[in-house]
Chain A
Amino acid sequence: MAHKESILKGLGRRDFLGKMGMGLGSVALWSLLNPVDVLAGTGISGNGGTIKIPHYVPKAKRVIYLFQSGGPAQQDLFDYKPLLRELNGQELPGSVRQGQRLTGMSAFQNSLPLAGSHFNFKQYGKNGMWVSDLLPHTAKIVDELCFIKSMYTEAINHDPAITFFQTGSQQPGRPSIGSWLSYGLGSDNENLPAFSVLLSRSHPFGQPLYSRLWGNGFLPSQHQGVQFRSGKDPVLYLSNPHGITGKSRRNALNTLEELHTINEDVLGSQELNSKISQYEMAYRMQTSVPEAMSISKEPDYILDMYGPEAKIPGTYAYNCVLARRLVERDVKFVQLYHQGWDQHGNLPSDIQKQCKSTDQPSAALVMDLKQRGLLEDTLVIWGGEFGRTSYSQGRLTKDNYGRDHHPRCFTMWMAGAGVKPGYIHGQTDDFGYNITENPVHVHDFQATLMYLLGIDHERLTYKFQGRRFRLTDVHGHIVKDILA
């Protein structure tokens, strides 16, 4: 009795209210374990998300977000600026900079010499999109891509900038895009996490990535991104320890579930339910993950599309193949992170390596999805957290330059579901420094992404600490011009 009282005393106001809301006892557990099935019998099914019926007709059902971590230099890849070459070595005019704040890395430089790209550009596709020689494969498929050359952000350093892209806020603590989608739309495959994460880098050093970037923030923790690793175990501690069979694992889980059911009425907290659902998900993933993560059945001609690195685990190319395999299995949000775009110095040589390992796989992924018909309802996004400066960081020499962080403009591309193929949105000035046409803010990008998935970004909210939060905070306009 004393024990029970202490438990009851321990039941806080929030827990109590939470329990009242979730007070379905074991049904709640079952619904979390098997979100796809519980809605059967209600006529219209829905997939366990809070949005039972999409707000808009969805154009995309799945997303692959190829995150280019570090901030690729738009002047060397997509945003062709011949003027920079003409004025190579001359000072960046103050009228262009307009008092823009610089990072501590170049703010104290005596001179800000303009640096023209060392790489040649050519026009490709029906729209005559300029693409640098660094990206021969991407250049070939520009008619499939929708370029936004006028992205801008508020942050000037990596972590706040990535956090801003992922969560809509520069301060850590809010849910990542994939978590919001998992929370809102649920899962189309109960055996794989709705939000899957794959990491790669072509260079031993890169800006660090923290797992909170794919974290669930204040959303229930089953919505956090699950990172698949490149080693023997794609998910750590997923396989049974030595001496434990699948059957005994199942028995253990069953017993745990029974215990949980008994305590549910007394303790039942959302976090405990999340925990149980994650145990169950892990159990199902013991069979589904090895199958999804094995590329042994991929024919050679497919792997050849993705390039020579496609068979090497841990590479960007390998992850692109995995991404396709995951969306084929109806995983809602697959996010790749490729580190190493932070080229403050030695840009000409480093960017070549970087492009070599990402250009072909990115293009191959789009075309592979396309031939299978998956591009019909899968959205592919390519982009970093900010752009890079048109002036050189450090000394500008005949064969070397670097570029500092530049939040005022950068280029992203999207392909597939719901966006115009072969389209260029936005323009920057001749210095590649400011946007002159159709600026797209990070929140606009997020609002558009949500719209493509059938979500009104103003309506997908979660109440936490007395306030309703949403991905786009109180901002965000849908970029209608890029919608197909």
Chain B
Amino acid sequence: MSRINRLRDKNRDFRPNATRFSRILALILLFAFIALMRPPAPPVTVGAPQTVTTTIPQLGVHTRLSDEVEPWKIKRTLQLAREMGAPWIVEFFPWAYFEPEPGEFRWQQADLIIDHAEAQGLTVIARLGLTPYWARPADTPDTFLAAAAYDDFAAFSAAFAERYRGRVDYIIVGNEPNLSFEWGMQPVNSADYVALLHKVYPAIKMANPDAVVLAGALAPTLEPPGSANGLNDLLYLEELYAQGADNFFDALAVHTYGFTFPPDAEPGPDLLNFRRVELLRDIMIRYGDGDTPIYITETGYNDHPRWSLAVSPAERIRYSADSIRYAISNWPYVDVIVLWKLRTPYPDNSYRDYYTLVTPEFVEKPIYTELKRLTGNE
């Protein structure tokens, strides 16, 4: 039996036993005593205000700090964003974390993240989503948001917008609603997402008239109509415009990945690559919405050795830098380019780890150094 399984079995074999219980209790007391004797860890201060030095003011990174427990790690992550020359961050603020009971808000973690981000001179784009248990039927996943809860989500979004008015003025409504996985494992329905925007947009605007509300954040996918997995993002965007959704967002959030294609590869409706942005932009123009900016809120390349949509580590570095250059040179309508993702608090043990720029232990990957160089910080 392998060491891993032996360890598991050892844990499983634990059974109540008075002697063992006494020993454990004694150990707990000993540790508690030692902990009390230790001087308290110095508090993590926000520090003096910093500014981001960069040659690419459109650049941003996802930071994934809502699950980060230790304040110094939150601070260090945001320092790394600044040092990389990325003035923008996208951070996920899960509704379920911040309103665990109806009307009971717990903003401590959000406060911490936003305080540190502000001190590092970063502009925060907040992604809101993830339904608390009380706002969805039992046995539904936390991405499930029924129409009956749209008012509750709008109220939460407004509370967030009001609390952080002037500090967080960019808000994304939901995430990849064209994927069943992100839409509560239900068949996707653009009409439902439009109905959600109808509720959330005015609520945010009322709380913070200066807020830039971003919609869409569609996943790049070729899923055909009727698929159980989702719907092609081009078709989904068409449906959003056909239903007048453009009155309920200020900028379109776009997710675009190069996968195995170099960034300048020609786009096409039947393939997924970096320049798919141009096809989405064509739809916006066709519906007379050419003045609305695009915020690329997810992009990047992956260099997992096994994943079929990954490239080699060297290609990842080159393609990532080239994709940023390409967007800046060719897409004046793109205001922000956010890389997925700077770091995660813990490894995912899958191909997803190979999207990060820094390891959970804060080891900077060579791609991080290269991006620093790109922004004039190395």
Q: Do A and B come from one complex?
A: no
Residues of B within 8 A of A (CB): none
